[in-house]
Amino acid sequence: MNKDIKKNWVDALRSGEYKQGTGELRKNEDHFCCLGVLCDLAAKDGVGEWKARNPYLGYYFDDTGKSNTHLPASVSNWAGLFLKTGEPDEDPTILYINEEGEEWERTLSEINDDGFNFSAIADIIEEQL
């Protein structure tokens, strides 16, 4: 991952500027998942833009389609997030050790939706990406 973008992402997650949401990159009430925060940083840097789906639903990040749950390829490319195959990573996988000491592979969207707060997610991103 690009180290400058990673630092900006971690800083944004810890800033308190973003309200955390689940299930979508960005919801109408401007709640973001951790991946949505990265998309917002990309948009501010001129990579894609947010489009409202309709007055009642959230947003999608319009640069390659109507994705509202995973990173578009353009954001993954911009951030330097790639799978081992070289393809853009739409939902990075991390290792999580549960309370019983078991090691699990989880995606960032899963831990976001399972109740990890942005500060905890920022710690994981710093350590593992």
pLDDT tens digits for 4-34?
A: 999 999 999 999 999 999 999 998 888 999 9
Residue 104: φ, ψ to 5°: -125, 145
Phi/psi class of residue 115: alpha, beta or left (left: φ > 0; alpha: ψ in -120 to 50)? left
48 or 125, which is more confident: 125
**Cα–Cα distances in angstroms (integers) from residue 53 to residues 7, 14, 57, 122, in the given order:** 30, 28, 6, 28
Indicate the helix (H) or strand (E) that contains 19: strand 19-20
Q: How far apart are CA 66 and CA 4, in angstroms?
A: 27
What ranges do the domains of the chain cover? 3-128
Q: What is the pLDDT of residue 7?
A: 98
Q: What is the pLDDT of residue 28?
A: 80
DSSP, collapsed to helix, strand or coil, labels residue 20 as strand
Q: How far apart are CA 42 and CA 74, in angstroms?
A: 9
Prediction pTM value:
0.93
65-103 tens-digit pLDDT: 566 889 999 999 999 999 999 999 999 999 988 889 899
